[in-house]
Amino acid sequence: MSNSKAELPVLESAAAPCCPPLGTAELSEPDAVRMAAAFKALGDPVRLRLFSKVASHEGGEACVCDIQDVGVSQPTVSHHLKKLREAGLLSSERRGTWVYYRVEPSVLAGLTALLDLDRRPAEVR
């Protein structure tokens, strides 16, 4: 199971180059569905910690064994990593015995761009 060669359009086509910043225009309903899916993936404490562990791991990647100490069982860790992959936030690659995860910057950049309030018209700030 590797999505470094694309795991298919990442579920319902992720959040990569999407949507003007929040202050500038209303989100369309389809855009809201896509972006909400990404936020939802970060909306669980265990997933957010796993994501953080991958992001801060040396070399920019981590194998499951490096990060699985988050207080839940191994199947649960695997389940959460799958969710993060499906959201387009992580990609994975098997190399020998281990599976390595790394952050996929594009979707993350879409989230940051969406949340950026400093690009709003001055009247709204």
Which pair of tokens denotes residue 87? 């959201």
For a second copy, which is the closer residue by CB, 12 or 78?
12
Work out what residue 26 binds among DNA, a second copy, none; the CB cut-off runs from 5 to 8 Å by kind.
a second copy
Buried b (16+ CB within 10 A) or exposed e, 54-91: bbebeeebbbbeebbebeeeeeebeebbebbbbbbbbb
* Structural contact between residues 22 and 118, judged by C-beta atoms closer than 8 angstroms: no
Q: Which stretch binds DNA (CB under 7 A): 9-17, 18-26, 79-87, 116-124?
A: 79-87
* Least gap, CB of 119 to DNA (angstroms): 27
* Least gap, CB of 71 to DNA (angstroms): 7
Q: Which stretch binds a second copy (CB under 8 A): 1-9, 10-18, 74-82, 116-124?
A: 116-124
